[in-house]
A and B are shown apart, each in its own frame.
Chain A
Amino acid sequence: MKDEQIFRGTPASPGFAGGLTYLAGHARKGHYVRQKTGDAEYAHLVWAIGRATEDTAEMMLQAQGDAADIIEFQLAMLGDDTFADSARVLIDQGAAADLAWSDVLDAEIDNYAGSEDEYFRARAADLMDIRDRVLGMLRGDISEAVPSEVIYIADDITPSIFLGHDWTNGGIALRRGSTTSHVAMLARQRGIPMVVGIGFGEIEAGAPSLLDAQAGWLATEPDDSTVRAWKDGWADFDEEAQVASVFAAKPARTSDDYPVTVLVNIADPADTDHVDITHIDGVGLMRTEFLYNNGLPDEETQYKAYCKVLEWASGKPVTIRTVDAGGDKPVPGFTEEESNPFLGLRGIRLCLANPEIFAVQVRALLRAAVHDHLKVMLPMVSVTEEVTEARAIFRHELKELKAAGIPCGWPEIGIMVEVPAVAICPWRFESPEFFSIGSNDLTQYVMAASRDSGGLAALSRVDNPAVLELIGNVTRCGKETNRLVSLCGDAASDPAMVPLLIEAGVTTLSVAASRIGAVKAAISKVNFSRARSSRERRQF
């Protein structure tokens, strides 16, 4: 038996699949035969584009909805003479038609792949599709026949390969890829599991493998424990999908009709595409780290991203967390290399150490605060001075913006509770207008167990009495001082933890987009008054 290997990536379309790995690129390549003259080369290229267009148009006949839109876009690209004209220039200089075509398209593909905008970056796959289809015609390639029920592994996947294959019982794992590609969108609509960004580790063809596109991993030669985790995950997924569809649209109420607030966590404005705002009470955590993926973002980029989400939320509260870089989220030019990053310069510590970088985000937030209804929270606060200092930066920037005549507003400012120093005596923190419990970090700091270490899973549990005691402490403080306490860690999305959190006094949960229905279903099974009295008995 070979060793298990796990390749982690980003879920692009949730679901589960198991099968043998299939490595893409097994199409039989034909050979290009050069024509006698440049004119004949060009005529051959035009013929190949025409044939590729016909094939594409044929796919159009069977396509509907978004698939039809994608094909229509490709048809329009194929029908445009721009590429052929550029190729003609190279052909006139003596290039063969196939090389001229791929040179022109490759340059365009590079241009898209290097785009700052995720949407345009994802269009590179469409252009590869067009390139390969025309090349296939020129060379007489036999197109790739993907066997059924496999885990398809490739750098990226083109819409025509996706649309040309029946993916029933199969899945897709891409080494690069994008969650906003046309294929990702189609995969979500059709419920085909797909993970992107698994990296370039060596994967053997035909290896037994499991895909968990809910958590975002591929395992080859899986161990028994991985098989169990995958099976359990799948069973939960199916059950959740059923209950979720029933519960998602309903208001969240306990069995004795006590209302619980359900907010959503988003990591990227594109996440809002998968959430119906009428199903939730707002955004409990909007991460901003995505803005820092390609280095430090300017104010305008940030402002637009915030406005987009505020606009989508149509007046419901949106809690944006100032950048939580450091820890497991390094940002070049901002974070520092540390031997123990989780206990190092991260979150608000890093921002206060780099006030000029922080000020850019603060200005974008203050400008976005003119829209209804922005709340801002500071991550990794440990002492009251950090809040004071951060608020001073907000005040200073507000004054500057006003002096410059730029429209701006003042958001509610709260803090994340994830450092035990805050959870133990939250009363000392008087200025935060709300608390949001980051249960993942709080748990790892209370239990002294890294959340990345699989071997410590038994320790790193939010249902440890010490962790629940601290959560109860924070909710009690919130009640006494009339401040909202929400919880935005993974525990809020876990139906098994929801009753314990409610018992600990948490009545505002911020959950993953895919778990809204499942969490509401879990809430409906909790008896609130019984939970409250058992809490009092335990003297939380």
Chain B
Amino acid sequence: MSARVVLYRLALYRRRRMLLALVLGMIAFETLIIVIARTIPPEQLFAGSVRQPPSAFRAFSGSGGEVSLASYPGLLGAGLVHPFWIAMQLTVVGSLGAAAVAADVEAGTIELLMVRPISRARLLAERTAALVTGSILVTTAAMTAIAVGVAASPRLHDAVPLRGVAAAGVLGLGLALCIAGPVLAVSAAGRHRAQVVGATIALGAVGFAVNFVAQAWSAVSFLRFVSPFHYYTPADALVSGTVPVGSLTLLLGAGLAGIAAAAWLLARRDLAP
């Protein structure tokens, strides 16, 4: 193992099989979405009452309201906010987030690592880099599958530019990092990987549910602003071909705030099993 970035490489090496499975799963899932989208002719897609679904359905289309679920970008966007997609992203964040600190504390291996000339900042930096790498791998796999499908289908390509696929991918990575920040903070302060996995699920599932409820019920619509999924609009990015800078900034800002909190917590804690 190279003397440099040892902790980064160790985290990825130990989860290589999980990452491979998630990459293949993402490719298979997005390929399935592409195949389904290609089988629906335009006249069926835009016919009937499906054209104007309830506003809460925006939560499932990945759009702020610009793109209907009953469109090709809406269908592809739905594949990027589908619970399966979210679950796979959360698996990466939860697993590599736990691996940052808490898993080593729980297993007792932290005692071997941190009695060597490694600063706590370096531990967090390398483990955060491993998490980001995992998210990039899984997101790139999904986006590559979509890009290949879009490029291979003139009907889809007319509705979705390839730069839109890239933009949606960048936004997806922003969502993953937004959730990763607080998860890393939990890992930096925690003693058990279950705490980190629980926090990951809570942030992902509760965040999605809050966004859905806020869109379905006008009385609590203000709550959508606290959900990361409100800022994650891949269907809009697929159509426009641009990354919504404001939303991405907010997602990355929340993630960086979480990482800063993680660094603060890690510097002040005891590191013993």
- Are both chains from one complex? no
Interface on B for A, CB 8 Å cutoff?
Answer: none
Interface on A for B, CB 8 Å cutoff?
Answer: none
